[in-house]
Structure 1
């Protein structure tokens, strides 16, 4: 059986590094709406952390690349992962962050997206509304090539695929631990960040997040509904930069080695309750 993150070094999405033309405005949104608090930073990045979620924000003019940061449980797991990747001729670059303990590293996928791995340095007792950062999704013009990298070289496992009428995959959902997906890719006409998601405890938490955004006059643009792949309840809003935030509950768990599911490309797959946001 191929080596997988789920079986050997389970990893969960820990934080994001986003790039903005107005970092202060974006940081104000995440502090107010997402209960994040500033941490001291060694450079110009704004570093924010809260209960189960964190974000680094840099100015677009600084030239720092965006990335998604995953955490493993121990330094031993981190070193095992790094050694395995380097044996596959994957370059592991240092990825220092206040959100990680020393030793974190990042890799680049075939289209240049960076993914970091480290051991968390965050306080697990932080308070705030429930919603841990759980998955991130991209659109890509090279779906097969990118998926091969994450599965065959990094060790993600495919949980579900969405296919068109010819059986060609249009969406691939991948897991790095027991949860249905922590990373997914949509086939699209652009290479861009699609959305990131916060997993809550139950439907009532989604209601409470909806009320919070309503009070701030931040409208829902997709949902509420239920996804087919993952079977999770959800809705989505956007931040001031247009980044899409999803709030989810009841995401499925998948056992190691389970065969990927196959879903037809269509609105009911993306939202069994009604209309869907279909990428192009």
Structure 2
């Protein structure tokens, strides 16, 4: 039996989105959502979370088509970046760029490639940490980017790609007696998930999730968005898989974004994935406080088809 590859990815860095109205999106994420713009130039906005050492956790780019520009992960060293690039090329994965200098804020050494469905993925190391700070009590702004979930028309193939080529590990699966397996939670460290794959009608962003300081800050942030009239899809509640809180909203262009906190940390040596049947209400929401998850709620996060598949972003 072939041994699994050594995990070279350490953590999630940022999610980059192509948006049709940059000004509207900038206003939402820096105003209501609570991110800080650290750089803006030539139709691109880099947004940081005040509690995170990452230079930015969201990048917005003015684009003709709505798309995921890329999902970025970190590696421990430039040598690990080079090793991963060689492994992917050897295995027939299509590289977008060879390892080299990263030109976005913080610099570093990285490369890009297409995953099995054509999303652009970046892996980098030696990015200069951002000066960040402790989020204070009652301060209801994101601490960090928690996880990114994608919709996939071939979720089994997408999960297999990230397990085989990037050594992500499966934490849990959401299943349904009628629809079958519907969401796979994948980890690259001891957080329950940094990445997840949902069964959907087409590849697209399902949601991006942002960790808050604690329950009080999570609820205050959720309340701020609701009072402002931002469309709430689902929540507040607490999931069973990952044991994290959730409130999902739609940003002005229809991307789903989540406030969360208390995502579970695992003992990777002893953890075994479970199947969670989300027809059981306590699987979807242990508290019973969220609105009912039904097909109409689920459809909100299908999003528009990603127009950037196998087309690398220009920057």
TM-score range, shorter chain: 0.7 to 0.9
Residue 121 in structure 1 maps to residue 134 in structure 2: no
Partner of 1:218: 230
Partner of 2:22: 23
Partner of 2:12: 13
Q: How does 1:128-207 map to 2 (within 5 A)?
A: 129-165=141-177, 168-207=180-219
How far did 1:47 drift? 2.3
Partner of 1:48: 47
Partner of 1:3: 5
3-state SS, counterpart of residue 82 of structure 2: helix
Q: Distance in 2 between matches of 1:157 and 1:70?
A: 15
Q: Distance in 1 between matches of 2:130 and 2:30?
A: 17
* CA deviation profile, 1:237-274 (whole Å, cap 9, x unmatched): 12111111111111111233532111114252222333
Residue 76 in structure 1 maps to residue 79 in structure 2: yes
How far did 1:194 drift? 0.7
TM-score of the pair, normalised by structure 2: 0.78
Asked whether the 8 Å contact 2:152–2:200 carries over to 1, the reply is yes
Partner of 2:272: 259
Q: 1:63 to 1:192 in 2, by over 3 A?
A: closer
Comparing 76-85 with 143-152, greater Cα deviation is found at 76-85
3-state SS, counterpart of residue 66 of structure 1: strand
Q: Where do 5+ consecutive residues of structure 1 fail to align? A: none
State the 4+ residue runs in structure 1 displaced beyond 6 angstroms: none
Q: 1:254 to 1:85 in 2, by over 3 A?
A: farther
The CA RMSD measured in Å over matched residues stands at: 2.6
Q: 2:113 aligns with which of 92, 95, 107?
A: 107
Q: Distance in 1 between matches of 2:160 and 2:9?
A: 19
Asked whether the 8 Å contact 1:18–1:55 carries over to 2, the reply is yes
Partner of 1:98: 104
* CA deviation profile, 1:48-73 (whole Å, cap 9, x unmatched): 22322522212222898621111234
3-state SS, counterpart of residue 109 of structure 2: coil
3-state SS, counterpart of residue 217 of structure 2: helix
Q: 1:100 to 1:166 in 2, by over 3 A?
A: farther
